[in-house]
Amino acid sequence: MPSTPLRVAVLGFWHVHAGDYAQQTVDHPGTELVAVWDDDADRGREGAERFGVPYTDDLDALLARDDVDAVTITTSTDVHRDVIERAAAAGKHVFTEKLLALTVEECEAVIAACDAAGVALVVSLPRLYHGSTAAIRREIEDGRLGDVTYSRVRLSHDGAVAPWLPERFFDPATAIGGALTDLGCHPVYLTQLFLGARPDTVEAVYRSYTGRAVEDHAVVTVGYPSQAIGVIEAGFVAGTPFTIDVAGTRGWLAYSDREARLTAGGPAYGDETVTLDVPADTQDAFGQWVGHAAAGTRADDNLDRAVELTRLVVAANHAAAADTLVGAPA
């Protein structure tokens, strides 16, 4: 824990999680919220008033301040690279919403800029650090499932039809994509965790039930050289439980947040359905960021996974646009 709090400014209230990270900044003993910037003055002022801190419309002036040590990036996705690189050049530590950037090349440039500036960069990939994820990974790595042949991860809410998701989330110029690019990031990086970062085939079906310019629900199927198959599902048109299914030659696992219970079955478990222990969540991404900033260390695993996440999202978007099977980009 740093001896003095990390003084943090929010850059952008575009994303729906901006308020969550601002609240984490308020609540964390190692951070202090000091300012807000947004390229939309009304939105920025409203966020600043909510948290009782000043708003500014001058990003360069904010980044030049000596009383700002770090920033949380919750701007529109299309300006991530510009804003993050400007923050890094000013010597500010960066915590950012996913996607890190629009392409793998941009991700690598952003990471290089933060490394060169000596600032901590962490991407919000929260479900990597859940206890249920750790328990599933434990069973896979211990070989209990045998050869893993299949996984399915589904995350969906009703934000497009309720409707509560801001209309800006459906603007392809600023959001870059729809359900897969936003909510689908979580099933993507979990699939990569369970089956591997680099599938060799990617198929995608995107549809827009509400008729908006980007997909409001999507299914992506990835194939691996091992012959394993991963199914990634995301949507804004149905509020369903978050679910994970993983299967192998010796057993299967199933998790749902409806019951917050991980079950398993198959020969490895005595051909009975059993409930497995789920450890507590580990340190979340925000807390890891504060720790890296204080210690002067690098979030190697988080950054590697953020780059691979972008690689697979880009491949899925290309596959959906082509409406055909495509190889994942190298």
Quick one: tokens of 231?
A: 């199914």
- Rounded to two decimals, the pTM is 0.96
Q: What is the pLDDT of residue 327?
A: 54
Closest CA to 233 of 220, 244, 222: 220
| Mean pLDDT calculated for residue range 53-61 | 98
DSSP 276: P
The whole-number pLDDT of residue 25 equals 98
Residue 236 has pLDDT above 90, yes or no: yes
Rounded mean pLDDT, 48-67: 98
CA distance 128 to 114: 22
- The pLDDT score that the predictor gives to residue 324 is 52
**Residue 75 φ then ψ, to 5°:** -80, 180
Measured at the CA of 174, the angle between CA 173 and CA 178, to 5 degrees, comes to: 85
| Confidence grade of residue 320 (pLDDT, cut at 50, 70, 90) | very high
pLDDT of residue 121: 98
pLDDT at 323: 72
Q: Does the pLDDT at position 173 exceed 70? A: yes
pLDDT band at 2 (very low <50, low <70, confident <90, very high): low
Q: What is the pLDDT of residue 326?
A: 46
Burial status of residue 313 (CB atoms within 10 A of its CB: 0-12, 13-18, 19 or more) = buried
Mean pLDDT of all residues belonging to the chain: 96
Q: Which two tokens stand for residue 108?
A: 């690598």
Q: Which residues contact 177 (CB under 8 A, 6 or more apart)?
A: 214, 215, 313, 317
Residue 67 Cα to chain centre, angstroms: 29
Query: Could you tell me the pLDDT band of residue 5, with boundaries at 50, 70 and 90?
Result: very high
CB half-sphere exposure, 256, CA atoms < 13 A? 4
Quote the pLDDT of residue 71: 98
Residues 75-98 have a mean pLDDT of: 98
Asked if pLDDT for residue 214 goes beyond 80, the answer is yes
Q: Read off the pLDDT band of 102 (50, 70, 90).
A: very high
What domains sit in the chain, N to C, each tagged with a CATH number?
A: 6-119 (3.40.50.720), 127-283+312-322 (3.30.360.10)
Q: Mean pLDDT over residues 123-135, rounded?
A: 98
